[in-house]
Amino acid sequence: GPTLEDLDPVRFIGNRSSGRMGFAIAAEASRRGAQVTIVAGPTTVEPPRVAELVKVRSAAEMHQAVIARADRSDVVVMAAAVADYTPAERAPHKVHKEDDTLTLVLKRTPDILGELGRRRLASGRGPLLVGFGAETEHVEEQGAAKRQRKQVDLIVANDVARSDAGFDVETNAVTIVGEGGSETLPLLPKSQVAAEILDRVEKLLVQNAARAEANR
């Protein structure tokens, strides 16, 4: 789902993510026998029943929850729409309407997926990493660049400018970018997109296990 970055006790910066895609992946992984932890931002969509549900509000809270659990996980799927920026200061009281314009100073939030990628690269071990890229143009190119930049196994890129895919709808059309190239899927229910993603995750897990066995 989204994260909400508070400006004051009344207002926040947020986005349109519903959490449906992440919940679909969690439900499918649980159906396949995985022990699943969901870290969910504020959303009105009912989450599936899983081993652990952690509710957070801000990007900082999501960062803390994910990092605390990542080393115990075989796979981390970052499907949340985490805010890139948050107010540098949260006003303690409601900011009242005065001038014609209002200037907000924002600061970068922690890059959760990038941190996981850097940690794995430095240590030589860690979970298989799947990230999402919500784009409005050049979806495949942006996805490939993000995969390289974040040092992750798969990026699932989707065009959120479409009315029938992405945020707050039941369907999605994605391009899955991996080491061997990219594959664009047609418009599908998010439950089917989840299955397609996890098919590829399972294949990578088998490959990684075989590679580790061969190196013993």
Catalytic residues: 15
Only one residue has tokens 């400018």, namely 161
The residues, any chain, with a CB within 8 Å of residue 120's CB and separated by 6 or more, are 126, 127, 129, 151
Residue 208, CA distances (Å) to 100, 153, 176, 177, 195 in order: 57, 11, 19, 18, 20
CB atoms under 10 Å from CB of 9, counted, come to 12
Q: Give kind and range of the element (H or E) at residue 124.
A: none
Amino acid at 110: P
* Residue 133 buriedness (CB in 10 A; 0-12 / 13-18 / 19+): buried
Structural tokens at position 20: 């449906």
